[in-house]
Amino acid sequence: MTSFPTPAKTTRGRRKSLGGTKAKPSISIDGGAATALTSLEIFAGAGGLAVGIHQAGFDHLGLVEWDGYAASTLRLNSERVLGIDPSRVLHMDAREVDYTRFSGKVDLLSGGPPCQPFSTGGANGGYHDPRNMFPVFLDAVRTIRPRAILIENVKGLTRSKFAEYMEYIQLRLRFPFCKFGVDSTWQEQLEVLRRVNPTDFADDERYNLAMQLVDTADYGVPQRRERVIFVALRADLGLEPVLPEPTHSKLTLMHDQWVSGAYWQRHGMKELDFISDRDRAIRKALQESLLPLEDRLPWRTVRDAISDLPPSVERGKEPHMINHVQHPGARIYPPCHIGSFPDLPAKALKAGTHGTPGGENILNAAHEDGTIRYFTTREAGRLQTFPDEWEFLGTWGACIKQLGNAVPTQLGYIFASSIRDQLRSIEPQFQAAR
C-alpha cells in the first residue's frame, strides 16, 4: 500500500537557504542557433511557465522578475535546467526594462501579470490595484512586436465586474499600435479601441487572438487550478491560434477507481471510499454504464504525483532530496479549508499575501492513516509539475509563495508546443521574414 510517511530523522547538516539578492540589470540576448525559436518572459516568477516553454523548444532571451527569492531561484536553475546564462535573468521592475533591445528578436512573448488584483483570494482591486501589470505587458507587445503571445492569469479576471477591463485587454492585444491621448484612462482608451477597424493597421501591427478558461487537471497537472489563457499570433503570419484540447478527465479517473479498479491496482492498495455525495451519484452512473466514457487519460492525483518520493525530513535536517523538508503546524478548518485528498488532484496551491492561508497547501489523508500535514516544497513542485532538478531558494514560506504563484510547467509546455507547431508550419516564410 502506498503510504505518506512522517518526516524521517537524520543527523546530517542543513543546507542554508538563500535570499533574493538583486543583481545588476545587464543581459546578453544573443540567441542560440539561427533557426531556434526565441522567447522573452515578463513576470517570470519561479519559472513554471519558463520551464514549459523551454521544454517546448524555445530559447529564452530573457526572464524578467522583480521578487528576490524568485529571481534567485531562476538564476540558480537557469544554466543547469534552462540552458541559458544567468545574466538573462533580469531581477528588476518590469516597468523599468528597456524592451527596445528585444524588438524584432522575439518569437514568443509570455508572462503571467500579477494576478492578485483579479483573484478571488486577493483584494479584488482589479484595474485600480497598483499591482495590476497588464498595461506593462501590453505596452511591451507594441515595442517588441513578437510573432506570438502567451499569457496566463486567474479565473477571477472573467468575472462580470471586470468584463469591460477584460474587453480592454483583448482589444489592446489585438491592436497594440492603436494610438491614445496622453494620460488617457483605460476607459477612454477602450472607447477608442471599440471604434477600431482592423484595416486601420498593417498585418504586422495587429494580432489574431484566442482565449480559453482551463482547469489544469484536464491537461495532466495533478492539481485543480482554473486559469485564463490568452494566445495571440501576429496577423501577417496568416495563422489563427489553435488552442490545445484537454487530455485528461475526471470521469476516466473515476472509472479507473470505481469501475475497473485499475487505479488501486496501480498503487498496490485496496480502494478507499472517500468521495462526496455528488461524486457518489457519478460513480453509480458509471457503474451502471449510464455515462459515456471519455477518450482521455485519467486525471492525475496527489498520490500519482508524490507517492514515489523518499521520506521527508524534519526542519534542521539535510533532506534526502532537494527541498523535501517537512514544515510543522498544519491544521484543517472544516468544512471548506480541509486540504487535499490523496486520490484526487490537489486543490490549487495558494501563495497567500501573509503566508500560507489556514487549511491550505495541506495533504489530508486522515481517512487513510491519520496524516494531516503540509506539502513539502518538493511535493508542491511535483503538484506544479516542475522537474525534480529544479531547486527553490528561500524559506519554506517563500518557496510555497513562489509555487502558489507559478504556472504549472505541464500547462506551459502544452500551450507553448501548440504555438511552436504553428510557427514551424510556416518555417520557410518565417525564416525569410526574420
Cα radius of gyration rounded to whole Å, the chain: 23
Positions in the chain short of pLDDT 50: 1, 9-26, 32-33, 121-126
- Asked if 248 and 218 count as a contact pair (C-beta separation under 8 A), the reply is yes
pLDDT confidence of residue 9: 44
| pLDDT value for 21 | 40
pLDDT tens digits, one per residue of 374-425:
999 999 999 999 999 999 999 999 999 999 999 999 999 999 999 999 999 9
345 with 372: CB under 8 angstroms?
no
- Rounded distance between C-alpha atoms, residue 59 and residue 56, angstroms: 9
Q: What is the pLDDT of residue 429?
A: 61
* 117, 51 Cβ separation under 8 angstroms: no
CA 245 to chain centre: 17
∠277-280-285 over CA atoms, to 5°? 140
Q: Which pLDDT value is given to residue 117? A: 52
- Residue 132: its pLDDT value, please? 75
Query: 282-313, pLDDT tens digit by residue?
Result: 999 999 999 888 899 999 999 999 999 999 99
* CA-CA-CA-CA dihedral for 46, 218, 299, 112, to nearest 10: 10
4 vs 367: CA distance, rounded Å: 12
